[in-house]
Amino acid sequence: MARAWKRLLVAVGLFVIVGVFIWRFPPVRFISRTHAAAQAAARAFDAGRFVTEFWTNQLLPACSRAADVRVVVELLRTNPPEAEKKYARKFGLGQKWYFFVCGLAKVVSVDRGEILLCVDEDGKPEVKVECGPVFGNTVRDGCGLLDVSKFPNSQDFNMISLEINRRIEAEVLPRLSSNMPGAVVKFAGCTEIDPSEPGLLPLKVIPVWVEP
Amino acid sequence: MKMFRMSKIGWSWFRPVCLSTLTGAMLLSQINCKKSDTGADSRRKAPDQKPKIAVVISTLNNPWFVVLAETAKMRAEELGYAAVIFDSQNDTAKEAAHFENIIAAGYKAILFNPTDANSSVANVRKAKNAGIPVFCIDREINATDAAVSQILSDNYTGAMLIGQYFVKTVGTNAKYAELLGLVGDNNTWNRSRGFHSVVDRYPGLKMVAQQSADFDRAKALQVMEAILQAHPDLDAVFCGNDAMAMGAYQALVAAGKDKQVKVFGFDGAEDVIRLISEGKIMATGMQFPRTMARMAAEFAHEYMQGRRDFSQKVPVPVELVTQENVHKFVPYGRKDELSQSASKPNAAN
């Protein structure tokens, strides 16, 4: 009889130990759909927030370090390989040249959704800014501040372009197009050139900063 | 009593225990098989004991991936390796089994075209832990610390270019459909989002249907037939790859709507390049599978020679092919790409 009690006690003891273990370290956890969705949303990449921080903390401070647009334009006129060597960036295996430029320019014309700027004294436009929707990755890849290898999911990296372009459309282009022909503006922006195409000028710049 | 809808289960310690047990069982069964097996594995051994490179491809049921696989194999062989192609058939379980076999068979490197950006990460980590470097080609995995390098098409920009050409040729007031690829693949969404980054800016462009056809020609044919029944007044269709563009075009021809509905693809596959030059398909995004495959094989070779400073991601541009510039292209690349031979490092010892 005592032996039976002993066995029962051992069994109950084991049962309690296993029960406590499973209670403390459950093999399966049940999570409600709402909670799982909230967790996933918290983990998701917020491109809007990323770009807000990137814009203020990295992009705008970098404008002052961008290449002088006048120098780049002159080199593209006279010695394009030198312009590539000194100032261009490339993205991956792409052959296109990206430049991050800044400088002073005189507004030549503002019409038909296009602004023409002159960066030297000849009065001819060397820079063109399109005022319509901004597409593509020119700013993201041209500013040289973002590295695709830091982003595990390239969809996040691409969403950054979308947010940057929207911000340019909302904040930068209206400011530039409010200037009248003859006005002098300070600007910084990025441009993308296909060196295999004939005629490298005028530069098609997407501005990220304009003053006034 | 509070009721839970069991949507998500955290397995904590239970899953590793189960997985370890299963893996152990699989390994045991593999060892047992090897003792009596003179089949696939032993046949794969190169007679001259060259170091082996595995080329794991998501599917060979698409000519584009066949070019990718064959080029990677050929370049690896040129560099002095024995290369074997493994077809995952778009099945993550088959892909995992291939990795188990590759690790057990002592391959020196894996040139990998993943089936799923998330699920494939575990396989790459397993190979990494076994000391086998993995080089992703064309499709990415959602991790930057597993593969040595990932050579990837810039799908977003390519699809954005198609979107701009779509607006130019279809106009800003039209009804269109979209055929998506595999929903677990990042390329599917990068292409879709690149395209929508442009067309969504024009409110007059109405997407009346968006369905997945898994990058598959036969499925695209069926899906397109159903879409045409529901929307007989369709103006255009954007397909996430050329196999689906061919399936959609086939459905349009059968319905007598191939002149009414403009087809746009993505890849640069042989059939679509021919149909673009004949004026039957509008455009595609040319990817460069030969460039990517050759580079992956060369990276693997350089890794084995001691190089370690690889970029985690190497984007490869995608070019727009239209009826105006199709003369510059051949299937799966540019005409001048074939003459520009890639730098060829010395062969393996």
Domains by residue range for chain A, with CATH = 50-211 (2.40.50.420)
**pLDDT (mean) for A71-80:** 93
What confidence category does residue B336 fall into, taking pLDDT thresholds of 50, 70 and 90?
Answer: confident
Q: Is A24 on the interface with B (CB under 8 A)?
A: no
pLDDT score of B268 more than 60: yes
Asked if residue A191 lies in contact with residue A101, where contact means CB atoms within 8 angstroms, the answer is: yes
Q: For residues A134 and A166, what is the distance between their CA atoms, to the nearest angstrom?
A: 7
Quick one: DSSP state of residue A47? H
Residue of A nearest to B6 (CA): A30
In the prediction, which pLDDT does B186 show?
81
Q: Of B328, B214, B343, give the one whose Cα is nearest residue B291.
A: B343
Distance of CA A142 to CAs A59, B29, B201, B256, Å? 11, 54, 23, 46
In the prediction, which pLDDT does B21 show?
52
Buried b (16+ CB within 10 A) or exposed e, B300-337: bbbbbeeeeebebbbbbbbbbbbbeebeebbbbbbeeb
Q: Is A170 on the interface with B (CB under 8 A)?
A: no
In the prediction, which pLDDT does B36 show?
35
pLDDT in tens, B123-173: 999 999 999 999 999 999 999 999 999 999 999 999 999 999 999 999 999
pLDDT score of B56 more than 50: yes
* Burial grade of A36 (CB within 10 A; 0-12, 13-18, 19 or more): middle
B330 token code pair: 């051949």
Q: For residues B108 and B102, what is the distance between their CA atoms, to the nearest angstrom?
A: 9
More confident residue, A158 or B83: B83
pLDDT score of B289 more than 70: yes
Question: What's at A9, amino acid-wise?
Answer: L
A132 token code pair: 């319509």
The answer to whether B154 contacts A94, with C-beta atoms less than 8 Å apart, is yes
Quick one: DSSP state of residue A171? I
In the prediction, which pLDDT does A37 show?
64
Residue of B nearest to A40 (CA): B8
Query: Which of B8, B140, B316 is closest, CB to CB, to A92?
Result: B316
Q: Is A23 on the interface with B (CB under 8 A)?
A: no
